[in-house]
Copies of this chain bind each other. A is one copy, B any other.
Amino acid sequence: MADKKVEAITSMEEDFAKWYTDVVVKADLTGYTSVKGFMVLKPAGYAIWELIQKQLDERFKATGVENVYLPLLIPESLLQKEKDHVEGFAPEVAWVTHGGLSELQERLCVRPTSETLFCDFYQKDITSYRDLPKVYNQWCSVVRWEKETRPFLRSREFLWQEGHTAHATAEEAQERTIQMLNVYADFCEQVLAIPVVKGQKTEKEKFAGAVNTYTIEALMHDGKALQSGTSHNFGDGFAKAYGVQYTDKENHLQHVHQTSWGVTTRLIGAIIMVHGDDNGLKLPPKVAPVQVMIVPIQQKKEGVLEKAEELRQKLANVARVKVDATDKSPGFKFAECEMRGIPVRVEIGPRDIENNQCVVVRRDTGEKITVSLDELESKVAELLETIQKDMLETARAHRDSHTYVAKNWDEFVDIVENKPGFIKAMWCGETQCEENIKDQTGASTRCMPFEQENLGDTCVCCGKPAKKMVYFGRAY
């Protein structure tokens, strides 16, 4: 007898925010802690992050990235060297004032991001053009003292990777900035099955200390946008503030040009909100810790558990697979598989065994297929690929059908109020207009997409000549 039930979760239509929290909890991704704003990543949640990390790290390394580890703490004086950067981060850092039993001579902040540490390190480590480029990355956690927190989307500590590079020329830095944005975009589509819009952030929205910030923006099921990864070109601003110089081939002293780029556990929030439904999580096979769950039916009957184990061993060649042999009812197990987002469920009972077949169920569509046991391995392998592709196409169709064009202010307001989604509109380039739009509608500029379209000649807000087509949206 099971001692707990898969309880129904709030429906998405009823309350999307509550649906989200319900899924996070019921799918056992995170746990609460006694430290306000901090979360526990439980095995089911952390295993998704491990799969993200592994596959992203492989893509990084294929482009020449090397991993390093820098200190957790930053001296206050080091943080303060780059003006915009310290203004951006100082209000939200945690300060260490005591080490052991004594007060520190200088406060240290827990890293909110590590530009300053990398600059300090590069300043010591780079002397000649022969030392360039440096293409380093670290996987770690950072702390930002957020007021409002939500699991994965915004918390006081989160896991991420931060790449930090130093180059001899501005061109090379710009190339690396875009290269990494493309790595992120490709990763989101091919691994997370999440289509993204690539583009540049406006002056107002760019990173503290950057010359340019580029972003990938994804659309959640509720029509709100989620900034899913960013890549920054710093030019030589940080290098000048921190004295990061090298001698070039002609023996002249030059400043390096730098970039940084990062994605976080926020991507898990994106997976939940792009793919999930009222039965719970839906994991794309490539980031599903368990890809196939075998559920034995009438498992007490002779030979059923043995057969389930036999199938598990076979399927282990093509998938991450488990058998649920607990004493819960099959119906309960089905619901639990769905809640946890397991892409494929295999049902096997006495009658199936007699007929040398089993029932295979897709989490993404709910479709049931009867498969001969002789073909199970190849069918499941094929199905996992199909599900991965179909989930991307479903998400793309949703994104495209929730992307609207606003040619004038009335249309803009109407869309924001009645049709949650991306809004494409022309913009004059002035921060003032951007702020007006945000104040009046809650929609912010998500990015100036690389793929520009000419939707008209005037700014959707002020009517002056337009400079850029922009994606707007309400955002997480």
Give the interface of A toward B (CB within 8 A): 3, 31-35, 38-43, 46-47, 49-50, 66-75, 78, 91-101, 108, 110, 117, 120-121, 124-125, 128, 130, 136, 140-141, 143, 145, 156-157, 159
Contact = CB atoms under 8 A, between A and B. Distances in A.
B31 A121 contact: yes
A313 to B, nearest CB: 16
24 contacts: A31-B121, A31-B125, A34-B75, A34-B120, A35-B74, A38-B73, A40-B70, A40-B121, A41-B69, A41-B70, A43-B66, A46-B66, A46-B69, A47-B67, A71-B157, A72-B72, A72-B141, A72-B143, A72-B157, A91-B101, A93-B100, A96-B96, A97-B98, A99-B156
Contacts of A94: 73, 96, 98-100, 108
A267 B334 CA distance: 45
A7 to B, nearest CB: 16
Contact of A41 (B68, B99, B143): B68
Contacts of A70: 33, 40-41
A35 B125 contact: no
A32 B122 CA distance: 11
Nearest to A157: B72
A410 B81 CA distance: 61
A97 B100 contact: no
B71 A120 contact: no
Nearest to A70: B40
A464 B210 CA distance: 72
Contacts of A99: 94-95, 145, 156
Nearest to A99: B145
Contacts of A35: 71, 73-75, 108
Contact of A68 (B38, B40, B121): B40
Contacts of A136: 43
Given A94-B96, A97-B97, 7 more contacts: A35-B73, A43-B67, A50-B67, A91-B100, A95-B96, A95-B97, A96-B96
Contacts of A143: 72-73
Nearest to A118: B40
A68 B39 CA distance: 11
A64 B441 CA distance: 51
Given A33-B120, A121-B40, A141-B140, A68 B95 contact: no
A96 B99 CA distance: 9
A130 B157 CA distance: 31
Most-contacted residue by chain B among A91, A94, A143 (CB, 10 A): A94
Contacts of A69: 40-41, 46, 49, 141, 159
Contacts of A42: 68, 125
A164 to B, nearest CB: 12
Contacts of A50: 67
B97 A92 contact: no
Given A110-B110, A136-B43, A33 B117 contact: yes
A34 B145 CA distance: 24
A104 B20 CA distance: 30
Most-contacted residue by chain B among A3, A99, A120, A124 (CB, 10 A): A99
A136 B41 CA distance: 11
A55 to B, nearest CB: 14
A71 B33 contact: yes
Contacts of A43: 66-68, 136
A168 to B, nearest CB: 15
B46 A68 contact: yes
Contacts of A156: 99
In the A-B complex, the 5 residue pairs with the closest CB atoms? A38-B71, A43-B66, A100-B145, A41-B69, A95-B98
A72 B108 contact: no
Nearest to A50: B67
Nearest to A117: B33
Contacts of A98: 94-95, 97
A129 to B, nearest CB: 10
A110 B40 contact: no
Contacts of A74: 35
Contacts of A91: 100-101
A92 B96 contact: no
B100 A34 contact: no
Contacts of A124: 31-32
A91 B98 CA distance: 11
A67 B53 CA distance: 13
